[in-house]
Every structure is written in structure tokens, then in C-alpha cells.
Amino acid sequence: MAFQTLCKQRYLGEGEAVPFLLDGHEVLVIWPDGGQPRAFTGLCPHERQSLVNNSQFNGRTLTCTVHGWVFDGRNGEGLRPEGCALDEYPLRLTDDGQVEIDLQAQV
Ligand code: FES
């Protein structure tokens, strides 16, 4: 595990998806309504297009606007179509208000 600082917790908001570029990796932190923030790679599993530049989040589902694939914001699993998922990175919130991510590991 090699956690590094991603941002301060106050930059994240429930019901929002926040994009980051860290060490050359596109990352999307999704905090669904009523859930917890989780970090996913910012690449669509369909044709590896950027979700940082081509997605919409409505608080529950993330839609890739390139071809319309839809993902569950709670866990990154594909809803339309099923059988796919966003790759996830370990994410943790620290007691001093930081958000940390491990880009070398996959959940
Ligand atoms: S690249 Fe995302 S749906 Fe095709």
C-alpha cells in the first residue's frame, strides 16, 4: 500500500463526482447520495475514453457520454450494460481532513 494525498475532504461533496489528475492518472471520486466516497479510474471500460471529460453524475448513476454506458455510483458496477465495472482504487479519509488514495493498488 502506498497511500498519497489526493485532496482535502472539504473538496468532496455528497452527490458529486469530482475529477482529479494525479501522477498522470485520471481519477474520479464519486460520492453517491447516502453513500461513501470511492475512487475509480477515470477511464470508461468500454473504449477507455476519459470519464473525467465525458461523464455526467446525477447523484446515483454515472453516465459515460461517449456511447451512453451507465454505472452504479455506489460501487462502479455496470448497469447498462451489466457485466462490466469501473476499476477502483483504495481511498481513505484521515482524521486530519485529508483524502488519500493508493494508485498502485486496485480494490
Ligand atoms: S467509451 Fe464510454 S460508453 Fe463507449
In a domain, 49, yes or no: yes
Q: Which long-range contacts (CB under 8 A, 24 or more apart) does 69-72 make?
A: 69/44, 69/45
In a domain, 107, yes or no: no
Provide the number of structural domains found in the chain. Answer: 1
DSSP class of residue 9 equals G
In a domain, 106, yes or no: no
Please tell me if the CB atom of residue 44 comes closer than 6 angstroms to any atom of ligand 1.
Answer: yes
Please tell me if the CB atom of residue 84 comes closer than 6 angstroms to any atom of ligand 1.
Answer: no
In a domain, 20, yes or no: yes
In a domain, 29, yes or no: yes
Please tell me if the CB atom of residue 49 comes closer than 6 angstroms to any atom of ligand 1.
Answer: yes
In a domain, 25, yes or no: yes
- Domain with 41, as residue range(s), is 4-101
**Torsion over CA of 92, 88, 22 and 48, rounded to 10 degrees?**
-170
The CATH code of the domain that includes 39 is 2.102.10.10
**Which pLDDT score, from 0 to 100, does residue 74 have?**
97
pLDDT tens digits, residue range 43-95?
999 999 999 999 999 999 999 999 999 999 999 999 999 999 999 999 999 99
d(CA 41, CA 86): 7
In a domain, 27, yes or no: yes
pLDDT tens digits, residue range 11-47?
999 999 999 999 999 999 999 999 999 999 999 999 9
For residue 104, give the C-alpha cell.
498502485
- Give 98 Cα–ligand 1 centroid separation in angstroms: 32
